[in-house]
Structure 1
Amino acid sequence: MSYFTNAKFATSAPDIRHLMADEGIEVAFAGRSNAGKSSALNALTRQKNLARTSKTPGRTQLINVFDLDEHRRLVDLPGYGFAQVPITMKKKWQIALGEYLQKRESLRGLVVLMDIRHPFKDLDQDLIHWAVDAELPVLALLTKSDKLKSGKRKQQLLMAREAALAFCGDVTVHTFSALNKQGLSEVEGVLRQWLQLDEQAGD
């Protein structure tokens, strides 16, 4: 049984001022609105509806928090770059996102999800640069890997790993498919490290 099945919805907040106390450990998930973020969170937690998958990408404009235990959380950040929302709202969210990455003390790592066929678009790069500036480790997750054949998938992974070197930070790249669970154990390994799970006996 995976530890991540413990995930339970805790709260939704429009910005960091409305989040719970800044203590414990949290890991955040971010990505373009059509990158498959909700599907990845559901696959990780083995829950079908923990994160709502919408037919209209970009509907989530709140920070959604899921408790794993008393001290650890997963944070689902609003999708960006696709939603039909006003420019003023997008700018407001960009400020909130920057604030969250730079000021949230309990944040220990950022998972940036990108469609394997279109990795490292401008907004993805901005986000990773922000995280690197804040000295946060990043897991760049190339989602929907089942859409590519094995050879092409490996080629995309190698290209993405090479591109990630330019960020000059702690940026790991893995492929992932919510559909066939490819890459799930690698994701869990990184998250367990960030959440300091393996340091505690019995976890």
Structure 2
Amino acid sequence: MLVLPGYGDTSAVITRRLHLIDPDERWTVAVAEPAWPGPAGPMWYTVDTDGPDPEGVTRAVSAVDRALDDVAGRCGVSREEVVLVGYSQGGATALATALDPRLGPPPAAVALLAGYLVHRDDDELDLSRAHGRPVLVAHGRDDDMVDPLRGRAAAKALHRRGAVTSWQEVAGSHRLGPALLAPLAAWLDALADGRVPHQPPPGV
């Protein structure tokens, strides 16, 4: 499993929460940190009034693509067996990587925590790449940084293109705490047991 922290976060933010993410230590976990410095810490890309910087998103996706190959090689598996998890900006980057048709095979599954679907050029986004693959979209209903509507919209778009989507709206705000990590842990347990969780978002 490859985990992408959010804006301003380092790998320590993830490693301190591994007891919540994978309490039974069923997964081999690697963390890829954002590579670009920002005013609040490392970031995957910059965001302005027009949204994420397209060139920055492309750089971030390329970095995660390389990390997927590296993790797969170190673990002796194919990249199609790696689960990709991201929080906030890291979640948006994880999903953008999985859906980029210019890259190699997409990961086995993707978990998007308090994230969103990055709007990119038509040739840089292919939702059909998630077809048949498990996708978790979890969001705090009181998130004041990334509107839950954006997470729900991503879940609906993926479901309509054939992803095996699980939508979880939980109590809380934009925080990588127990409320947001509990559905991730349950989803990962299901995958480890060979089950494919499926809870489509409402209204689809």
* TM-score (normalised: structure 2): 0.46
Q: Which has the larger radius of gyration?
A: 1
* TM-score (normalised: structure 1): 0.46
